[in-house]
Structure 1
Amino acid sequence: MDPTKLRRAIARTPLAPVAAFPKRLATVARHDAKVLRTSARWLVGSREHHNYTYDLTKLSRQHLAWFVSVVCAVPVSQVRAYFGEIESDDALRRHIERTTAGAARRGLADRQVRYARRIGWYAIVRAARPAHVVETGVDKGLGSCVLAAALLRNAAEGHPGRLTSLDINPEAGYLARSEPWSAVVDLVIGDSVATIDALDRPVDLFLHDSDHSRAHEKREFDAVEPKMAPGGLLLTDNVTHTNVLGEHAERTGRRFLAYRETPARHWYPGDGIGVAW
């Protein structure tokens, strides 16, 4: 019998799963071998134990550019130019490398600078030109530096702004404690919800990146809602795990869009950016 006809005949019988098993096993094995090789390289070459850093794949970067373009209503070419700005900021890159090398937690941090989805944060700040940005969850301060770099560029173009960075850990934010970035950053140590409640000026852009439990994320958005300036942007770093911001957008009459990043050469599946506007 012709091999093709034989395969088709077997596919119509209860033996089909058994016959297909070797091919399915080989497909899974190739996939898992690739993941294991990537994981092994990371275990040997990286020091990070959480809040992983990595580059984006070329395709993921392209999708991020279009995501920002749609949210901020700016040409995608302009977004790509913003990506180029932060990636070619040698002063910031050298600062992060030097500060990381001398930090108390240097044994758990990689010196190589990899921004991943944070280039999207940068582009959104550059495009939206917010006067007041609030981020919750600072950790080392990599994201704070990226946001501050965007605000400094905006200020040079006549659109000044400030960043309020909130974290409960007094050791957080060591990357953002140096000039010129610290000149636009107000680092506040304390409970994020209580601090949001105490804000005395409108918020143009809010980024949730702290406790990623669904309950805490919701408390932050509920707390910041009355503080938002007209047309303000709400961002979450937790969009791959919850739909809290999507639900908040629906309740408050906003639009919502989500982007999921794809890391290059990393075992971690990546995070994303959720935006309500």
Structure 2
Amino acid sequence: MDGTKFRRAIARSRLAPVAAFPKRFLRVARHDARVLNVSARWLFTSREHHNYTYDLTRLSREHLAWFVSVTCEVPVKQVRAYLDEIEHDDTLRQHIERATAAADRRGLADRRVRYARRIGWYAIVRATRPGHVVETGVDKGLGTCVIASALLRNAAEGAPGRVTSLDINPEAGYLAKAEPWATVVDLVIGDSIASIKALDRPVDLFLHDSNHSTGHERREFQTVEPKLAPGARLLTDNVTVTNVLAEHAEKTGRRFLAYRETPARHWYPGDGIGLAW
């Protein structure tokens, strides 16, 4: 019996799992070794304990560009230009580095600036030019700064806008309290549902990034719905965990699309962006 016939015979027999075990074991071992290597490096080089920051892989960044292009109906080349714009904003990057180094929580924050999927938020704001953005969940204010930077660029091109940033933590948003970004940021401390109800301006772009429980996410979208301007877009940072925004989109007659990021050189599997329009 030649080698090919022998392998086929083994594949048909009960010995097939045993014969394949060494090859399968090596593949798993190589994968786990890579994960452990990345995880160990992160443990000893990063200070972060939540809300992790990282770069995107090149492929993931390209998929993000197409996601924004499709959902915002702008050419993908223009979206790539927006992504380059935020990534090469040295003024913003240097501010975040300095503010992080001086912050009370500097022992739990990395000084290296990495935006991950937030560059997608930036591109969406640049592409849609909203007059009023509302985000729930601010933490340090990294995402707020990214959104504010996009709004400032829009204003310089004749399309001014503001972002209302909601968080229940009085210490939230310290990165976004410096000029010029603070000039377009309204930081509101309090419960997000109550704060949404109190909004006195139509909302062109809404981003859920606060309490990630299914119930709270659903209540935020239900509460903001009567506050939305015509053609408003809804975003969620919780799309890899729940189907809340997709269900809301279906109920309200919107389209929905999701993007899942792939972090580069990081153990965390990544989050994503859900968008309804």
Q: TM above 0.5, one fold?
A: yes
Which residue of the partner structure matches residue 137 of structure 2?
137
Letter in 2 for 1:258: A
Q: Per-residue displacement from partner, 1:38-76 (whole Å, max 9, x unpaired)?
A: 000000100000000000000000000000000111000
Displacement of 1:5: 1.7
Which residue of the partner structure matches residue 124 of structure 2?
124
Q: How many pairs were matched up?
A: 277
Please give the residue correspondences for 1:223-238 in structure 2 after superposition, counting only pairs within 5 Å: 223-238=223-238
Which residue of the partner structure matches residue 7 of structure 1?
7
Which residue of the partner structure matches residue 70 of structure 1?
70
Displacement of 1:249: 0.1
CA distance in 2, matches of 1:146, 1:79: 15
CA distance in 2, matches of 1:241, 1:3: 48
Letter in 2 for 1:243: N
Q: Per-residue displacement from partner, 1:75-115 (whole Å, max 9, x unpaired)?
A: 00000000111011110000000000000000000000001
Displacement of 1:3: 2.1
Which residue of the partner structure matches residue 200 of structure 1?
200
Which residue of the partner structure matches residue 155 of structure 2?
155
CA distance in 2, matches of 1:59, 1:132: 31
Give % identity.
81
Please give the TM-score of this superposition, normalised by the length of structure 1. Answer: 0.99
CA distance in 1, matches of 2:6, 2:214: 53
Please give the residue correspondences for 1:1-277 in structure 2 after superposition, counting only pairs within 5 Å: 1-277=1-277
CA distance in 1, matches of 2:80, 2:2: 54
Letter in 1 for 2:52: Y
Please give the TM-score of this superposition, normalised by the length of structure 2. Answer: 0.99
| Runs (5+) with no aligned partner, structure 1 | none
Q: Per-residue displacement from partner, 1:195-247 (whole Å, max 9, x unpaired)?
A: 00111110000000001110100000000011010000000000000000000
CA distance in 1, matches of 2:202, 2:165: 15
Letter in 2 for 1:275: L
Letter in 1 for 2:60: S
Task: List structure 1 segments (4+ residues) > 6 angstroms apart after TM superposition.
Answer: none
| Runs (5+) with no aligned partner, structure 2 | none
CA distance in 2, matches of 1:64, 1:237: 14
Displacement of 1:4: 2.2
Q: Per-residue displacement from partner, 1:99-158 (whole Å, max 9, x unpaired)?
A: 000000000000000011000000000000000000000000000000000000000001
CA distance in 1, matches of 2:6, 2:203: 67
CA distance in 2, matches of 1:5, 1:185: 71
Q: Per-residue displacement from partner, 1:140-187 (whole Å, max 9, x unpaired)?
A: 000000000000000000100000000000000000000000000000
Q: Secondary structure at the match of 2:49?
A: coil
RMSD (Å) for aligned C-alpha atoms: 0.5
CA distance in 1, matches of 2:2, 2:118: 56
CA distance in 2, matches of 1:226, 1:160: 23
